[in-house]
Amino acid sequence: MGSFVTGTAGHTHGPLILLAHCALVAIFNCKPSQTSDCTMAAPDITRLTISEPFLRLGSLLAEGPCYRPEDDTLHFVDIQGRLLYRVPLSGSSPPHALSTEDRLGVACFIEGDDQHYIVAAKRGFALVNQESGELKYLAKVFTNADQETRCVIMLYTA
Q: Tens of pLDDT along 69-120?
A: 999 999 999 999 999 999 999 988 899 999 999 999 999 999 999 999 999 9
Strand partners, 109: 117
129 and 86: one domain? yes
Looking at residue 31, its pLDDT comes to 44
pLDDT tens profile 27-40: 444 444 444 454 55
Looking at residue 155, its pLDDT comes to 56
44 and 66: one domain? no
- Which tops the pLDDT comparison, 22 or 146? 146
119 and 74: one domain? yes
* b/e sequence 95-112, b meaning 16+ C-beta within 10 Å: eebbebeebbebbebeee
Confidence tier at 14 by pLDDT (50, 70, 90): very low
75 and 20: one domain? no
Lowest mean pLDDT among 38-47, 60-69, 96-105: 38-47
- Would you call 49 helix, strand, or coil by DSSP? coil
pLDDT tens profile 109-158: 999 999 999 999 988 999 999 999 999 999 988 777 666 666 556 555 65
Task: For residue 33, give its domain range.
Answer: 1-49
96 and 132: one domain? yes
Looking at residue 101, its pLDDT comes to 94
- Which tops the pLDDT comparison, 85 or 23? 85
36 and 109: one domain? no
> What region, left, alpha or beta, does residue 18 occupy, with left being phi > 0 and alpha being psi -120 to 50 degrees?
alpha
Closest CA to 46 of 73, 11, 1: 11
Does residue 91 sit within a domain?
A: yes
Does residue 33 sit within a domain?
A: yes
84 and 132: one domain? yes
Residues in the chain: 158
Does residue 27 sit within a domain?
A: yes
Does residue 114 sit within a domain?
A: yes
Does residue 28 sit within a domain?
A: yes
Looking at residue 44, its pLDDT comes to 76
Looking at residue 142, its pLDDT comes to 74
Number of domains in the chain: 2
67 and 116: one domain? yes
70 and 123: one domain? yes
